[in-house]
DNA sequence: GCGACAG
DNA sequence: ATCTTGTCGC
């Protein structure tokens, strides 16, 4: 698939000010409310999940929506001329239906808040090779949890106009409504609100800390939560619901894990 | 000036 | 993101 909004394609040669202005423009047209055609209750990733679990049954016997996981790996990551490997794995329920990838030289270093300008080009190149039409894209990184509400999930989601969510392992900005230092049981959700560093009214819920995996005993080891946020055409609440459905016993959603592994495979081949 | 920062 | 064996706890 190709960009619906070519004017939003991330250009690494822009000045920092131009990048930030583009992000504000993207956030203006981004959809942070549900606006997609598939049934969220039909989304699943666990092969042992027949769709009749506590999460709620699908309304019909239709095939599960197509969910793509997107992840990057780098060859010579700390070098100026590092190569970005972008991998996309398309899934339907627990089935992998397509895998595509793209390898491109990185143009700029990693800068917090400008990640999409470093990795976005390779991601869009990989999407051009994708033949299936995704119902939802899951990105590694933030969406609305971003200074200008335009993290990589929002940037790419809006550019392709595809429903998208962001899944990050660390919090970029915003303020948890409750302390995340205490033990959170599996399934716990803590709202992440906009603070003064975010271009949204203070208190706006821009995402959630979601405890996708946790050990039963609070005294022993603990797992860090995921930070999920809307990318495009999905609300913060539904984003969390979808990520919950896509997790199958591991901390990360299944499409993300698959893309993670595939990116590593490609990287191993590329660095010969 | 201080603090804080996805991958 | 990346470099990496063993090791602790469920």
Which tens digits make up the pLDDT trace of A197-222? Answer: 999 999 999 999 999 998 888 776 68
The CATH superfamily assigned to A6-271 is archaeoglobus fulgidus dsm 4304 superfamily (3.30.2170.10)
Prediction pTM value: 0.95
Distance, CA of A205 to CA of A244 (rounded, Å) = 18
Residue whose CA is minimally distant from B6 C1': A141
Q: Which of residues 111-170 of A touch strand B (CB under 7 A)?
A: 112-116, 140-142, 146, 151-153, 166, 168-170
* Residue A52: band (very low, low, confident or very high) from pLDDT cuts 50, 70, 90: very low
Q: Locate the domains of chain A by residue range.
A: 6-271
Reported as a single tens digit per residue, the pLDDT across A135-154 is 999 999 999 999 999 999 99
Q: Which of A186, A251, A247 is nearest to A46 (CA)?
A: A247
Could you tell me if A196 and A131 are in contact, meaning their C-beta atoms sit under 8 angstroms apart?
A: no
**Is pLDDT of A89 > 80?**
yes
Q: How many residues does chain A have?
A: 272
A174/C4 CA-to-C1' distance in Å: 33
Average pLDDT over residues A175-179: 95
Return positions of chain C under 7 A from a protein CB: 1-2, 8-10
Return positions of chain B under 7 A from a protein CB: 3, 5-7
Q: Are strands A189-193 and A136-140 parallel, antiparallel or unpaired?
A: unpaired
């Amino acid at each position: 698939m190709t960009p619906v909004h070519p004017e939003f394609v991330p250009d690494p040669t822009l000045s920092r000010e131009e990048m930030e202005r583009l992000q504000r423009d993207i956030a203006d047209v981004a959809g942070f409310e549900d606006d997609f055609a598939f049934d969220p209750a039909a989304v699943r990733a666990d092969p042992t999940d027949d769709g009749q679990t506590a999460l709620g049954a699908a309304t019909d016997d239709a095939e599960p929506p197509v969910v793509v996981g997107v992840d990057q790996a780098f060859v010579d990551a700390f070098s100026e001329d590092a190569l970005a490997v972008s991998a996309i794995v398309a899934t339907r329920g627990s089935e992998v239906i397509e895998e595509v990838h793209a390898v491109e030289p990185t143009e700029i270093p990693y800068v917090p808040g400008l990640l999409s300008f470093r990795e976005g080009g390779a991601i869009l190149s990989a999407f051009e090779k994708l033949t299936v039409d995704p119902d939802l894209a899951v990105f590694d990184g933030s969406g609305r949890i971003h200074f200008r509400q335009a993290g990589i999930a929002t940037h790419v989601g809006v550019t392709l106009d595809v429903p998208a969510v962001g899944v990050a392992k660390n919090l970029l900005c915003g303020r948890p409504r409750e302390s995340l230092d205490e033990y959170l049981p599996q399934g716990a959700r803590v709202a992440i609100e906009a603070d003064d560093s975010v271009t949204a009214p203070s208190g706006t819920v821009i995402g959630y800390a979601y405890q996708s995996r946790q050990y039963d005993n609070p005294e022993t080891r603990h797992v860090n939560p995921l930070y999920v946020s809307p990318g495009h055409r999905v609300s913060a609440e539904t984003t969390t619901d979808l990520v919950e459905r896509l997790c199958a016993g591991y901390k990360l959603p299944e499409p993300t894990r698959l893309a993670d592994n595939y990116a590593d495979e490609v990287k191993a081949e590329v660095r010969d």
